[in-house]
Amino acid sequence: MDWLDPARKWNTLARLGLIALALSSLLYADQFYEHIKAHLSGSIVDDVITGEWHVVLFNIALFLSFLIPLTFRRKADWKEYTIVVAFIVSLFVETYGIPLHIILVAGRGTTPAAPDLDTPLVIDFLGVEFAFTIPMIYGAVLILLGMTLIIVGWVQLFKGVKNNELVTTGLYAISRNPQYLGFMLVVAGWWVGWPTILVTIFAPILIILYLRLCKVEEKEVGDLPGFPEYRERVRLVI
């Protein structure tokens, strides 16, 4: 493949950007270590947000809405997305409703003292004050990047579907499945920012599911004119 190919250049830049973001987190290795340990040990039990059910419902509705356009992409088998729905609902119930895991862990014997984590960003949203640690900021960046890829990817795909043509431009010139890349970044962002047992278990399962969906859907469009050449030119995800 010609190195001067724009698709390859943009794909390489995107990969380098994600690698740079990951490597920059090493500058805050101690913060990430304490952050993960605090979530898994339950030592943040006194700092978590609880009982904010309007925040729970808002986030569930928001993130479930990203699944709706899947029906336009393919004949969606909603059984495949049951695990996604379960993850989203349980995630926000635990994050802003009842942090069951953290409460249970904190109630077993002596809980380590809450770590002294920097919170350089505080946002008031829906009447609730959210204090972001450095790892949470990294997680939020991944989530926002993922949401942007999902939204822009769907818009570009809809235009192609409306014209009954294979979409190979825009984000689709960098990744054959930019919206699924977006879903993966959202999942990764939740684990980075809120690494509870629930997210730690679900995250790899969901990423594997999205990779599987990429391959399943490509079998459905594999006969479209120009797709074999497109597949050779552009990567599956990133």
The confidence score (pLDDT) of residue 1 equals: 46
The confidence score (pLDDT) of residue 12 equals: 84
The confidence score (pLDDT) of residue 61 equals: 93
The confidence score (pLDDT) of residue 102 equals: 66
The confidence score (pLDDT) of residue 70 equals: 66
User: What string of DSSP letters covers the chain?
Assistant: --TT-HHHHHHHHHHHHHHHHHHHGGGGHHHHHHHHHHHHHTTTTTTS--S-HHHHHHHHHHHHHTTTTHHHHS---GGGGHHHHHHHHHHHIIIII--HHHHHHHTSSPPPPPP-----EEEEETTEEEEEPHHHHHHHHHHHHHHHHHHHHHHHHHHHHHTT----SGGGGT-S-HHHHHHHHHHHHHHHH---HHHHHHHHHHHHHHHHHHHHHHHHHTTSTTHHHHHHHS-S--
Show pLDDT as tens, one digit a residue, over the chain (238 residues). Answer: 455 567 778 888 888 999 999 999 999 999 999 989 888 877 777 677 888 999 999 999 998 888 777 666 555 555 667 888 888 888 898 888 887 766 666 555 555 566 778 888 899 988 888 889 999 999 999 999 999 999 998 888 887 777 767 888 889 888 989 989 999 999 999 999 988 888 888 899 999 988 988 888 888 776 777 888 888 888 889 8
Give the predicted TM-score (pTM) of the model.
Answer: 0.88
